[in-house]
Amino acid sequence: TLFRSGSFGSSSIGAQRKEIMYKISGPGVDQPPFGIFIINSYTGEINVTKIVDREETPIFFLTGQALNRRGENVEPPMNLRIKVIDINDNYPVFERSEYVGRDRQSTR
């Protein structure tokens, strides 16, 4: 488990210093499909480790947490919604080599 020292919150006396660990959970992390997202426990930066198919999973709902050394939340858990943006990776499939149609529009 990785921790970092840094400011978190403030009070009238001044900034309180705590050691914080960032953590995520949910589908794509610790639930199927496993291991798609990882988090840098020091910075909270989330990265994608695998190709994600929008047709298969268009949105991932994760939970993010900031924890102290004892594993207690230092603020309420945060709901994270990761929306997968699609690229056109599926070419059109035609069952026949030729199609015939008519355009009933006037050509005048």
Q: What is the pLDDT confidence band of residue 71, given thresholds at 50, 70 and 90?
A: very high
pLDDT at 11 over 80: no
The pLDDT score that the predictor gives to residue 88 is 74
Give the distance, in angstroms, between the CA of residue 67 and the centroid of all CA atoms in the same chain.
19
The encoded tokens of residue 15 equal 């900034």
Q: What is the pLDDT confidence band of residue 9, given thresholds at 50, 70 and 90?
A: very low
Neighbours of 67 (CB within 10 A): 20
The encoded tokens of residue 98 equal 């030729």
CB 46 within 8 A of CB 39: yes
CB 46 within 8 A of CB 37: yes
